[in-house]
Structure 1
Amino acid sequence: MHASANILVPAYFYPSFDPAQSNWDEMTAAASKTNITAIMNPASGPGSAENSDYTAAINAFRAAGGKVIGYVPTNYGARSQADVLAEVGNYQNFYNVDGIFLDEMSNLASNLAYYQTVYGGIKAINSAYSVFGNAGTNTLEGYLTAADVLVTYENQTGYEAYVPDAWTQNYAADRFAHLLYNVASESTMLSNIALAQERNVGYVYVTDDNNSNLNSINNPWDTLPSYWNAEVNAVATPLPASGLLLLSGFGLLAIGRKKFSAIV
């Protein structure tokens, strides 16, 4: 059986009323082609009340086969656990989401207990929630007890030289995610996706968005990439059990089969 990856989209953009300009509508159209999980982020968290525009967008996206998780910042373990869990509760009350994205996750041993407690609290609110933890860099193996999926790379440069921790090879690929921005060309996007899969990473997202967008402040996730359709097709294409993957402009890259299992 061949395995395909999942796209994890930091969907930090508002659902537009105009379908021709709505990134959420574009994700919905692609959700039947491959596995897509979108991170919703109405107000650096769920906000204080339900937003009907988000409700309509995420319901349509989920009906098409997508999954939605809610953004919650943790300030690297310095934020009150009660405040974090209160926002998780707001997502539960306001929106039909599939899980939680804990941003600003520490990778220090001294903060592991904090995140284990938060993880337990999230599961107490909804045991079916998938919990994503974003350290954005290599982290300790123990953090797998505090998240179902760990984001171990979030950056715009150096992905080719990045070296994942050896212990990550001992787990299913869908325990890990990588997020790349400011990747200008489609050919580089394709090679990065192949490299992520080779590195046993089950969730990946690559965009040409960057911090220079005048409509945002330090947000390289405020629009889908210009090569979105090509990215969807690349992730939807199963890897061979062993063999070669043809990359546009990059020749042939040897790829081995990786194990993927479902998050429930």
Structure 2
Amino acid sequence: MPHLTSTATGTAHTDVRLGFGIPGFAHPLVAPAEWSELTRPGTPLDWVVLNVSRGPGGRPDPHCLEAAGRLRNAGVRVLGHLDVMYGARGFGELVSDAHRYLDWYQVDGFSLDRCPTERAALPEVRRTVTTLRALCDDAHIVLGHGTHPYPGYAESADQLVTFSGPWSDYRWSQVAEWTADYPPERFCHFVHGMPRGHLDEALRIARWQGASTIYFTDRVDSGGADDPWESMPGYWDEIVSRIGTGVSE
């Protein structure tokens, strides 16, 4: 079973405390129930990404201001969405977006979506992250690679998204050996198109591969026409109850 590949030390993580990272729900006007649900007491949230309009938008959005404020009041970390475009986005544009997120929404950090993975791009990503940390004290930085990047990226961020894709790939995925040098709290897995009947198996994969921040959904990516992360999975209550208790496999 490929997903049960052990770490380099010959042990697997089976006692990982799991929590949710929300990649980015639709606008609060479109998905009011989803945003409201995130403030339910006891929901094990690590952070929530705020993506106003492919970034912070051109002006403060009152509905997003309210949603972000409710999350902060509930003690939930809110991250601003920055699209790195695999390295094609300019440094100045990213910093400008970060300033708007901080000025308007008082975010607690940033999620760098479509982050490059190769070694050659690391210096520029490191430069961006260093600047973001200078702008925001105690900023939580998530690099959204979607796959295992060059190991050096782990030294620049608080967390790396090392899997983002369909269940059909996740169930046969393997963990990179270098991740064994870091605790599970450093890694995130996002899986779409995952049927309810495979929930236990998916939770086992995340624990065995050492990823403590997850988001699983039965919503599907229809060739880019629909964003599978914009709404909650049909089994949200069930998965909250399973990982909210802290029970490990």
Q: What is the TM-score of this pair, normalised by structure 1?
A: 0.83
Aligned residue runs from structure 1 range 175-186, under 5 A: 175-183=186-194, 185-186=195-196
Equivalent in 15, 27, 30 of residue 14 of structure 1: 27
Say if 1:12 and 1:42, in contact at 8 Å, map to a contact too: no
Equivalent in 164, 170, 183 of residue 172 of structure 1: 183
Equivalent in 52, 58, 67 of residue 48 of structure 1: 58
Aligned residue runs from structure 1 range 170-209, under 5 A: 170-183=181-194, 185-209=195-219
Determine the C-alpha separation between the residues in 2 that align with 1:62 and 1:105.
26
How big is each residue's C-alpha offset from its partner over 1:224-251, in whole Å with a ceiling of 9 and x where there is no partner? 11101111122213245xxxx3xxxxxx
Say if 1:175 and 1:201, in contact at 8 Å, map to a contact too: yes
Distance 1:212 1:108, change over 3 A: closer
Report the counterpart of residue 84 of structure 2 in structure 1. 74
Offset of 1:17 from its aligned partner?
A: 8.4
Offset of 1:3 from its aligned partner?
A: 5.3
How big is each residue's C-alpha offset from its partner over 1:187-240, in whole Å with a ceiling of 9 and x where there is no partner? 312321221022110110100111349xx8341111111101111122213245
Q: Kindly provide the amino acid, as one letter, of the partner of residue 82 in structure 1.
A: G
Determine the C-alpha separation between the residues in 2 that align with 1:65 and 1:230.
23
Report the counterpart of residue 146 of structure 1 in structure 2. 156
Gaps of 5+ in 2: 1-14
- Mapped pair 1:24 → 2:30: no
54-63 vs 2-11, which deviates more?
2-11
Across the aligned residues of Structure 1 and Structure 2, the Cα RMSD in angstroms comes to 1.9
Determine the C-alpha separation between the residues in 1 that align with 2:174 and 2:136.
35
Distance 1:227 1:81, change over 3 A: same
Equivalent in 84, 107, 122 of residue 117 of structure 2: 107
Report the counterpart of residue 236 of structure 1 in structure 2. 244
Determine the C-alpha separation between the residues in 2 that align with 1:100 and 1:115.
13
Equivalent in 167, 170, 176 of residue 159 of structure 1: 170
Determine the C-alpha separation between the residues in 2 that align with 1:193 and 1:87.
34
Q: Secondary structure at the match of 1:11?
A: coil
Say if 2:16 and 2:212, in contact at 8 Å, map to a contact too: no
Report the counterpart of residue 219 of structure 1 in structure 2. 227
Larger relative CO (CA 8 A, sep 6+): 1 or 2? 2
Determine the C-alpha separation between the residues in 1 that align with 2:233 and 2:81.
20
Determine the C-alpha separation between the residues in 2 that align with 1:193 and 1:62.
27
Equivalent in 32, 44, 64 of residue 34 of structure 1: 44
Offset of 1:100 from its aligned partner?
A: 0.2
Q: Secondary structure at the match of 2:23?
A: strand
- Mapped pair 1:4 → 2:17: yes
Q: What is the TM-score of this pair, normalised by structure 2?
A: 0.88
Q: Number of matched residues?
A: 234
Q: Kindly provide the amino acid, as one letter, of the partner of residue 127 in structure 2.
A: T
